[in-house]
Amino acid sequence: MPEKTVSNPYHIAQNRIRTAVDKLGMPDDVYERLKSPDRILEAAICIRMDSGHLKTFYGYRSQHNNALGTYKGGIRFSPDVNADEVKALSIWMTFKCAVVGIPLGGAKGGIACDPRNMSSRELESLSRGYIRQVGCVLGEKMDVPAPDVYTNPQVMAWMMDEFQSMYGGRYEPRVITGKPLQLGGSPGRLDATARGGCYAAREAAKTLGTETKGASVAVHGFGNAGQYAAILSEELLGSKIVAVSDSRGGIYNEKGMDAQSLIDHKKNTGAVSGYENSQPLSNKALLELPVDILYPAALENVITAQNAPDIQARIICELANGPITPEADDILENKGLIVLPDLLANAGGVIVSYFEWQQNEWDGEETARRLERKMIQAFKQLNEYQKIKENVTMRQAAYMYALERIVETMRLRGWGEFV
């Protein structure tokens, strides 16, 4: 199939389900039931900009499936947000929750905007406007959002407050996760996605008979997840960061770079480029470095059939959702590289969101311990499942494992004769 036909993330998500259904010998009705979200809302959000003029932004909320539990998924602010992207992300969230064994369903939301060029006041207006439009389908027992690309605890605080205002001032802390600690947020939520990915990478290294101490690491995408991946790769894994990149380009130093000073440099300058004792390189070149661990931590479809033949990382840990296309998957598999799929690798965020949603008052250390236990368990179960099924990639095993759990739950709930 030509690469261009599967560059749409929604089509990719549907194809992943189709493959899992076929490999498990399930009826076509299963695919028909799960190929599309239960519901998607599209909203026009009109706010007054600092310039004084009104501007309309378009937002979305996709609710894919809630057989396992309450819809759950982040809200992203990004210029590339569109209906198909959030539909795909909601599907991936359904399967992700099933893979790691938490009783939540899948949802996702977003607004097409560039928050990097907006003031705090404009972002607050946009956040509140979004909730006014989609709040009718949210709630602690219905759909619980969280932060995602270019959103953060402050955005979640504005959204929670607006939801409370909509419903007569009723305090509803469980309607949003990823909140500031002062509003009931969970310690460890900010680094949860990266921390879970590091645990997965460590377990994968064990299957290769190697250690992560001294391993070379490249991080593609130096946002929240990428920055914490760099810090935790040093702290938890004992690895060295040899390359990082953001939307403006990347830098490289084969001897390693200090993660915290990299983060400070980006905060001070707005980019990783220009970091001392480093040489510039493109995002493409970073992906193709001969490193031990590669973290794709940006957006979808960065590893394709065009560059997959040149990928050399021994372990690829998907901190982003959908960074590898299906064609690229086949190429990487034939090269013998280990790909830790997003359904497992970046599930730390939703796991800790689940802890927060349960209102568990654990400190950061206890949250990290429980996350580690959950990630190790999920990795081992998926690794064993892959061995049992034979001749399937870890990604295919993840979809198959999740699909069996989702379908069995729908059957128990009496959701149609097909199950």
Known catalytic residue: 206?
A: no
For residue 28, give the DSSP letter. Answer: H
Classify burial at 106, counting beta carbons within 10 Å of its beta carbon; exposed 0-12, middle 13-18, buried 19 or more: buried
b/e string for 200-235 if b means 16 or more Cβ within 10 A? Answer: bbbbbbeeeeeebeebbbbbbbbbbbbbbbbbbbbe
Strand partners, 43: 59
- The answer for residues whose C-beta is within 8 angstroms of residue 76's C-beta and 6 or more apart is 108, 109, 110, 111, 148, 149, 150, 151
DSSP type of residue 191: T
Q: What is the DSSP letter of 92?
A: H
Residue among 108, 120, 105, 46 at smallest CA distance from 81? 108
DSSP code of residue 103: S
Comparing C-alpha atoms, which of 116, 190, 102, 182 is closest to residue 144? 102
Rounded to the nearest 5 percent, the helix, strand and coil shares of the chain are 50, 20, 35
Q: Among residues 72, 87, 108, 240, which one is catalytic?
A: 108
Which sequence positions are flagged as catalytic? Answer: 108
